[in-house]
Chains A and B, each alone.
Chain A
Amino acid sequence: MFEKLKNILNSEDNTKKSPANVKQNSGNKLKIGYIHLSGCTGDLMSFTENYDELVDLLDAVDIVYGQTLVDCWEMPKMDIVLIEGSVCLEDEHSIKELKEAREKSDLLVALGSCACTGGFTVYAKGGQKAQPQHSSFLALQHLVKVDMAIPGCPPSPQMIKKVILAAVNNDMDYLAPFMKFTENKDACGCDLQKRIINQSICIGCGACAAACPTRAMTMKDGRPSFNCDRCVKCGLCYYQCTRSWWPIDQIKKEMGLE
């Protein structure tokens, strides 16, 4: 997988060396697709919050497929496809589109927690208008192989921007954690209890509480205190935790220390 992505991005890297050619040479730009399954459009909104930077990004990428972004009905070949939302098993079209996206893309990215691990949609039981029979929602990984997972409800605009810039700049080291995140089958505020506190590694810094989008996580007596009723199962508390994974090399690079 790593090698495959490297190859795709390498060809992009070549065009980057002569920026003047990029515009004319649109055939070599990264072809990006965006597919919206069962989600709230929050991830797309977060993505498009990068308005200013998108102008620059569009020089480096071609958005070739996407319901609200491109007038295109036939799914083309894509270098990268970003998929938002989980898959509704009662919606044949969703399953078909996901499978097709897997076949037609080199890199399939689950964007946002619904796509990564189900997110908020794990609570769905059906009975809502206008499709009451839509009741079973699954994360992408249950139906196709996911290459990269970017959790968040939504992932912050800054996070999405950094990921795209890393892809454009062929910075595989920066992207490596997101490939690893595909191994996580579930996400919940209780990950913090199981994978941090119970493992004896919590230091009571409060990063989890800051990351939580619903204030399900607060700090009490120097430890995270979790209100399950508020949790949308995004996993941000765990991913943003100082002790869940430690990207020292990327930090040093960002700080200009290497």
Chain B
Amino acid sequence: MIQDSVLGPHQEILTARATDKKILKNAQDGGIVTALLVYALEKNIIDGTIVAGDGNEPWKPEPIVATTKKEILKSSGTKYTMCPNLAMIKEATRSYGLEKIGTVGTPCQVMGIRKMQTYPMGLRHVTDKIALIAGIYCMENFPYDSLKAFIQDKAETVPSKVVKMDISKGKLFIRTSDNETAIPIKETHGYEQSGCQYCMDYVAELSDFSCGSVGAKEGWSTIIKRTDTGASLIDNAVEDGVLEVVETNEGKFGLEMLRKLATNKKKKRQKNIDKALDIGLEVPFTKSDLKEDILENR
């Protein structure tokens, strides 16, 4: 295990994408999460998974328990607003009777799952059934009304007409079937949910594996193999041809970029944490002058 306070503990980093064209069609980038959840389901590593499914309004996801390939495929793609996946974790073992739960989460959600496993205070017979934790890279998240403001005021359309949203190259892209609007990320500042300003984790450091587009060319994803559970799933998926792998770009637009974004996030957030603690807020993280390594998620 490589100990790394920027990218979190990990075994290996690789660049890959799904081979299934159907998965790639609706995927955000390389379709890694979708492909691996489907693969884990087929290999009986999980018997269902909590994913961000469709809610009542377009682009406003609700957590659902998916137990078929079809349901997982239907939930693929990133939605840039909160989806309280953890709220379904007990329900997955009750109404759905899952024994091996798959989970997907942003870094903060993965933190919550690990806290549940370590201190399962209110989770009777739940945490021993968590079989897989997939993490996704995340800089910040937006309340649904912020998202609506971008769609309506900046892209001058309505959520139901949007076919894809994507953050890359410093811009938030909002695509409809006949148009594309690019909003510089700078202009989205102030619209994030406030809890994100204290988050020290960019790459879901505590997940079994995590992935995202940063560091990979378009249509591919950078995967960080972390625990043995995550590593063996990925190795087998590659061996079985579910994922194809290309050489990882270690350079400026590859892993260097990933490290840079993670470092910048951590430095910025540590400042916010220090400020919040100074004014007496109940932030659960440590002040920088009490930390050995300020990049650490504590």
Q: Is B290 at the interface (CB under 8 A from chain A)?
A: no
Q: Which of A203-227 contact B (CB under 8 A)?
A: 203-213, 218-219, 221-222
Instruction: Give the distance to chain A from B199, nearest Cβ to Cβ, in Å.
Output: 7
Query: Which of B114, B115, B194 has most A Cβ within 10 Å?
Result: B115
Q: Is the CB of B121 within 8 A of A207?
A: no
Q: Is the CB of A239 within 8 A of B121?
A: yes
Q: Is B283 at the interface (CB under 8 A from chain A)?
A: yes
Q: Is the CB of B121 within 8 A of A255?
A: no
Q: Is B185 at the interface (CB under 8 A from chain A)?
A: no
In-complex Cβ contact of B298 among A218, A234, A240, A246 (8 A): A246
Q: Is A155 at the interface (CB under 8 A from chain B)?
A: yes
Instruction: Give the distance to chain B from A188, nearest Cβ to Cβ, in Å.
Output: 15
Q: Is B261 at the interface (CB under 8 A from chain A)?
A: no
A46–B33 Cα distance when bound, in Å, is: 36
Q: Is the CB of A205 within 8 A of B120?
A: no
Interface residues on A, range: 35 or more
Q: Is the CB of B298 within 8 A of A159?
A: no
Q: Is the CB of B87 within 8 A of A200?
A: no
B181: chain A residues within 8 A (beta carbon): none
Q: Is the CB of A246 within 8 A of B122?
A: no
Q: Is A93 at the interface (CB under 8 A from chain B)?
A: no
Q: Is the CB of B195 within 8 A of A158?
A: no
Count A-B contacts at CB 8 Å: 169
Q: Is the CB of A207 within 8 A of B284?
A: no
Q: Which of A162-220 contact B (CB under 8 A)?
A: 162, 177, 195, 199-213, 218-219
Q: Which of B16-24, B41-49, B105-113 contacts A (4 or more CB under 8 A)?
A: B105-113
A255–B117 Cα distance when bound, in Å, is: 10
Instruction: Give the distance to chain A from B149, nearest Cβ to Cβ, in Å.
Output: 14
Interface string of A230-248 (1 = CB under 8 A from B): 0000101101111111111
If A203-B196, A242-B112 touch, whether A209 touches B84 (CB-CB below 8 Å) is: yes
Q: Is the CB of A199 within 8 A of B115?
A: no
Q: Is A254 at the interface (CB under 8 A from chain B)?
A: yes
B84: chain A residues within 8 A (beta carbon): 204-206, 209, 219, 222
Q: Is A251 at the interface (CB under 8 A from chain B)?
A: yes
B276: chain A residues within 8 A (beta carbon): 200
In-complex Cβ contact of B141 among A150, A203, A210, A251 (8 A): A203
Q: Is B254 at the interface (CB under 8 A from chain A)?
A: no
Residues of A near any B CB (own CB < 8 A): 46, 49, 150-153, 155-159, 162, 177, 195, 199-213, 218-219, 221-222, 234, 236-237, 239-251, 254-255, 257
Q: A156-B126, A210-B91 are in contact. List 14 more A-B contacts (CB 8 A).
A: A49-B124, A158-B127, A162-B119, A199-B281, A200-B194, A203-B82, A204-B141, A205-B86, A209-B87, A219-B84, A222-B144, A240-B119, A242-B111, A254-B118
